[in-house]
Structure 1
Amino acid sequence: MNTLRVKIAVLLVVAIVSVVGLLTVVLFYLLGPPQRSERALEGTAQQVELVLGLINEAPGAVTLEEEPAPGQLYERSTAGLREVLTARGLDLPVTISRDGHHAPLIVSVPIADRGWLWMPTSGMPPPGPPWKALVRWLTVIALGATVIAVFVANRMVRPLVFLEDAVASVGPDGLMPELPERGPAEVRATAKALNSLSARLKRSMESRMRLVAAAGHDMRTPITRMRLRAEFVPDEEERGKWLNDLDELERIGDSAIMLVREETGAAAPERIRLDELVGDICTDLKEQRLDVTGVNLRPVTIRASRFKLNRALRNLIINAATHGVRARVSVSGDGTMARIVIEDDGPGIPEDLIHQVFEPFFRADRARRQDIPGAGLGLTIAYEIVSRAGGRIEIANRPDGGLVQTVELPEAADEAKT
């Protein structure tokens, strides 16, 4: 896993094991192999010598076996014990074996032609070369270091996880819920800074919304006065231009107020049959003489505000039917997401401008012609509504011309199953 937590844990494990391993190897080569092996072998040789003396004095005092003790033969320990016994003047083919992992070590001593004496012993050096003991030691160190490293790594990245969760908690309105100011000093300071940032951002957004709403509302009075004055313009053509400009100003004001309401309002969601809602919109727009066709409207249920979603889809479909000549609308779902696809046969939008379609007052026509009425906020309002409902909108040019607008919304859970 390519995460900071894993990288920190691996770094700590490598550092701890490397330092301990290096120190162990240095001490091993500076001080030599552990002296416990020679001392243990000397003690065992003394025991063998004593037992042989007792057997010579009282031959029937011990029980002898016909064969050496069974089990795994420890050749290195056996050779070392034979060397020690030879140095003490006892040339005996003794063996050291163990019959099972938890069984004691058995020293088998031949007693002339009478049999074998089995001597359980303890404190013998570990079998095998010293490097095996070193590997076992480093393995234990590595396991312990891994536990410590994972704990330390989790503690170290906790503030980053806190920040990640805080960013993920940002709602469709661009604000995050108030974060608890507890934990280490750094985490408390971060939570306090984020709460302060969120509060300032909320105040700024509310101030902007109030300003836009007030401006849109206050525009109505002078527009009404100007409309009355325009009615008395004697030139009919000039009067028509004045009235058209005033209509545009009024649409802009109304759309601005509507946008503010969408960004600040919160309506309770309800279960909606999306196919029925889209079908009703298509029927209504057809009656308004717009070329709108509903194709392949499959039954899909979602949860949203019916009034708001109706406004958003209506804006998108009208946009396709007016700017794109005609609109074809389809509804489908995959059990998780509902999908509305709106296609048109218009000229499309230049690729260098398509990323701006949801900006307020955007027009693909740089000359801002008013052949088609509108304030340029329809897509912005639709985007706000769909985003607040947990969905998303994508707009792209079709390969064979025109636009395709795709709206995705979470499907509602089946109440019968819940």
Structure 2
Amino acid sequence: MGRLKHLFPDALAGRIVLLLATAILVANLIALAVLGLQQQRFDRQAIEDREIERISALVPAMEAVSAEVRQAIVRDASTRFARVRVEDRPLLTATATDSRSIYIARGLAETLGRADVNVAILERPPRSDSEARTGRFSADSVIAITIPLSARDGRAEWLNVVTSGASPRPDRVDGRPFLTILVLSLLCVLGVGIVLARRLTHPLRQLSHAARAAGRGDRTARVKEEGAREMRDAARAFNAMQAEISHFDAERMRMLAAVGHDLRTPMTSLRIRAEMVEDEEQRAAMVRTLDEMTVMADGLVSYGRNGQDAEAMEPLDLGDLLEQLCADRGATYRGPDGIRIVGRRVGLGRAIGNLIDNALRYGGTATVTLSQDRQEAVVLVEDTGPGIPPDRLDDMFHPFTRGDDSRSLETGGAGLGLSIARTIVHAHGGRITLENRADGGLRATVALPLAQADAAGA
């Protein structure tokens, strides 16, 4: 069962083609069986009609001659498939009730113009040695016919005929023409089926790609509303869902940005008031707290703005972007040229720039490496800092989470840099992970899908 399941096509197009091929094969096999049965039926009827004609011609001739001539005619009329005898007792006294016997008897009666014809279909008698040598009566059943003849020399005589009709055809139909037709029909159906299946499943593939992109956070992913009615309905529902989610995300991000922006005014007022406090120690503590709150408010504004995806997607040379980011920040860059992606330059600059800034802030150095792996561009940002406890690596992408639990302005930030980076990378259909290096430090890995032409070349 497992092997059969493994051989069964996984793709919908393959299943449609397999279904069509199976239907054609089964239909042709049924047609072959019906053709064989019909051929046997036609052969049998042809044999019966031929015997009716032969015996109808034989009886008048025998009625017109003497007994001696009758015997000569009988010898000449007997063949390897028919035994003809003129005997003094009838082989049959009544016609059998089966349809074949009645058909032959009625045909002979109509042709001869007499009703005293008896016919029966008998099982083939056991072969004698001579029959086995000559091959007579090789059929499974024989036709027995009895017709009374006019008396000669005062004796009543009957014409008794036992015949298999003719040499039977082979039990099966010649399969070569049938197989040729079957192969040609299968090829035609498979060709048409493959084209139709691809056209039918193309909207499904588009919907699948768009759904994966949406799952990675790309709210711009849409599906063309084309194809069959059900596919158009599914695409329309998906696009409506994406629009609703995009609207919700935009409202959420605008709310965060608005909260961060609105906090600046009271914090500025509080800072002015704090500067007027005479106690220098209290004044310093209040200003430090307000500075940390300002950093958090600025982070909220940045997080909200970067999550709105207002920038358009465009082809980018990722190597040029990384080289510029590293040059601006004093980081080390290694990587080839010509690795192209489709993305937002400012957004990706912000995301990878946050990773480089974190590496410089917490590790002192930052090394950025670009490579290509199958259909992805892979960016590594490594530092030589203390790293992060393994149980906290996943938590670092949550908003307001930092490597150190303090809010010291010396390390800066409000714990939103990695959250912003993950939001932007996911919106590009990529993924981002963190891991501790074996020789010390932290490694951030960003994988982004290549542009279509580069992915195809890979």
How far has the Cα of 1:279 moved from its partner? Answer: 4.8
Kindly, what percent of the aligned residue pairs are identical?
34
CA distance in 2, matches of 1:273, 1:165: 23
Does the 8 Å CA contact 1:327/1:343 hold for their aligned counterparts? Answer: yes
Query: Larger radius of gyration, structure 1 or 2?
Result: 2
How far has the Cα of 1:339 moved from its partner? Answer: 4.1
Does the 8 Å CA contact 1:36/1:125 hold for their aligned counterparts? Answer: no
* 2:10 paired residue number: 2
* 1:34 paired residue number: 40
| Structure 2 residues without counterparts, runs of 5 or longer | 1-8, 55-77, 85-130, 135-165
How far has the Cα of 1:383 moved from its partner? Answer: 3.1
| One-letter code aligned to 1:405 | A
**Is 1:382 aligned to residue 382 of structure 2?**
no
Does the 8 Å CA contact 2:431/2:447 hold for their aligned counterparts? Answer: yes
Question: In the superposition, relative to structure 1, how do residues 307 and 169 fare at CA in structure 2: closer, same or farther (>3 Å)?
Answer: closer
Does the 8 Å CA contact 1:16/1:145 hold for their aligned counterparts? Answer: no
Question: In the superposition, relative to structure 1, how do residues 338 and 204 fare at CA in structure 2: closer, same or farther (>3 Å)?
Answer: closer
Farther off after superposition, 239-248 or 401-410: 401-410
* 2:291 paired residue number: 247
Does the 8 Å CA contact 2:379/2:445 hold for their aligned counterparts? Answer: yes
Question: In the superposition, relative to structure 1, how do residues 22 and 272 fare at CA in structure 2: closer, same or farther (>3 Å)?
Answer: closer
| Structure 1 residues without counterparts, runs of 5 or longer | 49-82, 94-123, 287-291
CA distance in 2, matches of 1:218, 1:351: 37
**Is 1:218 aligned to residue 262 of structure 2?**
yes
Q: SS where residue 238 of structure 2 aligns?
A: helix
CA distance in 1, matches of 2:443, 2:280: 41
CA distance in 1, matches of 2:237, 2:263: 39
| One-letter code aligned to 1:35 | R
CA distance in 2, matches of 1:160, 1:273: 31
* 2:225 paired residue number: 180
| One-letter code aligned to 1:34 | Q
What is the RMSD computed on CA atoms of the aligned residues?
A: 5.1
How far has the Cα of 1:229 moved from its partner? Answer: 1.8
Question: In the superposition, relative to structure 1, how do residues 225 and 348 fare at CA in structure 2: closer, same or farther (>3 Å)?
Answer: same
Question: In the superposition, relative to structure 1, how do residues 328 and 166 fare at CA in structure 2: closer, same or farther (>3 Å)?
Answer: closer
Provide, for residues 196-230 of structure 1, a one-character-per-residue CA deviation record: whole Å limited to 9, x for no partner.
Answer: 32332232122212211211110110110111122
How far has the Cα of 1:369 moved from its partner? Answer: 4.8
* 1:203 paired residue number: 247
* 1:397 paired residue number: 436
**Is 1:274 aligned to residue 282 of structure 2?**
no
Q: SS where residue 260 of structure 1 aligns?
A: helix
Question: In the superposition, relative to structure 1, how do residues 284 and 20 fare at CA in structure 2: closer, same or farther (>3 Å)?
Answer: closer
After TM superposition, the score normalised by the length of structure 2 is 0.56
Question: In the superposition, relative to structure 1, how do residues 302 and 323 fare at CA in structure 2: closer, same or farther (>3 Å)?
Answer: same
* 2:401 paired residue number: 362
* 1:230 paired residue number: 274
* Alignment map for 1:79-228 (pairs within 5 Å): 86-87=81-82, 128-130=170-172, 136=178, 140=182, 147=189, 150=193, 163-164=207-208, 166-167=210-211, 170=214, 173-177=218-222, 179-180=224-225, 183-184=228-229, 186-228=230-272
Question: In the superposition, relative to structure 1, how do residues 383 and 346 fare at CA in structure 2: closer, same or farther (>3 Å)?
Answer: same
Q: SS where residue 281 of structure 2 aligns?
A: helix
Farther off after superposition, 261-270 or 146-155: 146-155
How far has the Cα of 1:150 moved from its partner? Answer: 4.9
CA distance in 2, matches of 1:411, 1:153: 28
Q: SS where residue 446 of structure 2 aligns?
A: strand
- 1:348 aligns with one of 387, 400, 422: 387
